[in-house]
Structure 1
Amino acid sequence: MGRGEKAREETRDSEFTWEQVQTHNKSNDRWIVIEDEVYDISQWSKKHPGGQAIISHYAGQDASNAFQAFHADVDRVKKYLTTMHVGHVTDTKKREINEDFLKLKERATKMGLFKPNVLFFILNVSHVVLLEAMAYFVLKWFGTGWIPWTLSVLFYATTQSQVGWVQHDFGHLSVFHNTTMDHLLHYLTVGFIKGASPHWWNHMHNQHHAKPNVIDKDPDVRVDKLFVVGKTMPVEVAKRRKKSMPFNWQHRYFFILGPPLLFPVYFQFMLFRHIFTRKKWIDLAVVMAFFAKVIYLYVPILGVWGTIVHYFCIRCLESHWFTWVSQSNHIPMTIDKDIAEEWIPMQIHATCDIEKSFFNDWFTGHLNHQIEHHLFPQMPRHNLYKIAPYVREICEKHNIPYVVKPLLQSFKDIVQSLKHSGELWYSTYNACHS
């Protein structure tokens, strides 16, 4: 028996205080707590199927609600934890908000809100396939004049945006609640239809859900090379750096560097970087199959350079669509360091909802119900609005702001929040370096 195994064996039935647990948050010493039981994940986190980062973000913290949210078969997964069990926490205080959340989840289960409508997802995938076919055949049938070319770009950009929402469902295991089936369809949608790496998407997006808007943990707010967001980041960057971007102008250059270039430049680079550094050769094969499809279909019609221009314009439009939708729910909300908040306040402080309508539901892939999606990431998106009134009740009871906005207002708030953060950076920078 190795020294580490012996130590775990000796402490397997030990009792710990939260103060003791919180000290185990180092890169080589990580403990998490699930339902008051303490687990040493120091070595196993490297083998975690969901990636090392997502589970490590909870080192020294209570991961109970996150554990429930990310695993479809909780009882089966718990069996793997037994070998890592080192004891239990003795000074846990039951918080009413957690009890209310458990009751809410039980209510959602009884209402059948975790059961997917198969027809809904069949129609969604079908409309994506139809849009992609229209993008090709409008050029095939009507030639490459500016009208059919423009229609083709619009159809294909809509295809890419809508398949982005559909793959999101499979990535969260919210369609089949079956790892094998959801992963298979995830590879088809995000890989072959969209041309991205499923493993890269999971790696990035699951971290975002685990710690939304948490600086140094949520990849979506690791933007301080180009932007500063929230109230904490602008001050820290201003104090730490003498040279940086002119962040007081970020609400203006956002229109140039943000929506237009996120997909065609940054994401294209990052997904291939992820594939090669992590040696995800299956992902590479699927992504290359996507590009082979594009070349086979469009080069005979548009030529090589025409296909490149066509593809870039599609990615640029898709990038606008995704950026405005995804950031509308998060950037104007609380962005701060990790303070180990409870699941409900952490998720709701970092998210907001957009008003429900048929168009908003379609345009955002039901991510206008972002609060509910973050609380229940495995709930099929067509049911999110049904749990919303009960989420609002909990928020009112515990005095947590439940924010719902019109779609256009949510877009305006992105720019306003960037402006405010930029001004905060500017005033702090001048005070520190003048």
Structure 2
Amino acid sequence: MAVRVGAAAVMLGATAAVVPGQAAAAGEASGRPGPYAFADGAQSVEGARSTGDAAALKPGGAYKSSLPSSGKVSYRLELDAASNAYVSVTAVPSPGSTVSVIDGIKVSVQDAEGNTCSVDTASFGASRSPHPIAAWGRRETGRPLCQKAGAYFVTVERVDPEGEGSSPDTWDLELVALTEPRTAKAGATTAPEVWNSATPQPLQGESERRKGGAGFTRATPLDQGVWRDDIRPGQTLFYEVPVDWGQQVSVTADLGSSGSGVTGYTSDALHLALYNPARGQVADVGVGYDGGQKSGSLPPLPPVDHANRYAAAAQVSALRFAGSHYLVAHLAEDVADTFGDGPFALTLRVRVSGEPRGGPEYAGESEPKGVFEVSDQDREAAAQGVATGDDTAMRALAVGGIGTGSAVLVGLGVWTVVARRRNAA
């Protein structure tokens, strides 16, 4: 991440801070969740109806676009013959929109000859609650098709725009493109067959407050621990957990009782999803809610391994590289109809087991640099809960009226933490 000089200048004279997750809380003064926080500096790009007019996406870049209620929009990637490429598309429905159970987005990647490289979908599920959803496209050089250098096309479309309950609204899109270099040496071409698949026990202990962010680039860092937050109906909170090569992550989400005494039931009220560093979904869990405390856990997941990409199961294949993995929690809008606007207590029990081990030797750098690794700075940020997206952490130093001299000293220490490798992702 490029740390901007202006952020340090603002820090020196500031007497109040934008703390991690404050973007999510900005709209909560009125009891309503804040909007999705797009990446700072995201370039606006228009999706083309024809691939012949598709605008180029540069690996390492972040883009903001839009998706009409019907039809496809396309974007172009210029790729070499050696690198794997990933494009994640986050769709953000317009405020007040309605969606069907299967409505969502479909993301596909094709080469210049029309061969399909990958297809992925994301939907809103049984709660029918509009919120940011993400799907990814992949061009993998180890597959029979899509190995040549040249133009590739990313196509995005609505899954069920005319379904029952779906409103014909235009949705905002956030797109990020990443590349992963080939390995310097040939490795395993089959996924590991043996790993600890026992259901882990939820982590116990006293909880610590961490406020979730309002987008992928505002995700609040978490390490292993028990973390407490508040969530309102219709709100989506983002967190990031560094998971290194050879490590397993397990997460349990607890939703506290409403305290209202009202009876009722909301299906899939709390939805928790885990995404990999390229924002490809790994696994998810839905938790129904009747006003009493409820709990749900992600399924057992294998250790992060480069060879996982050869697995047939999607949730194994997605755990293919080290780096910041994202937890995204959403509380359905309909919860408010029965149990009020909240907020409701959300507890995340995060376990990261296994000693980090060395990963594959890459023959080059990823774009953005270092996105598929866990650095000491990443671990420090997770331990401190310092948001490292853009310059949020720098601005947070001014909280509580820190004096100028103290801010300089603390700032120098935090500068090291936030001088990370990610730019757009």
Q: TM-score, normalised by structure 1?
A: 0.26
Larger Rg: 1
Q: Which one has a larger percent strand, Structure 1 or Structure 2?
A: 2
Greater RCO (Cα-Cα under 8 Å, separation 6 or more)? 2
Q: TM-score, normalised by structure 2?
A: 0.26
Q: Which one has a larger percent helix, Structure 1 or Structure 2?
A: 1
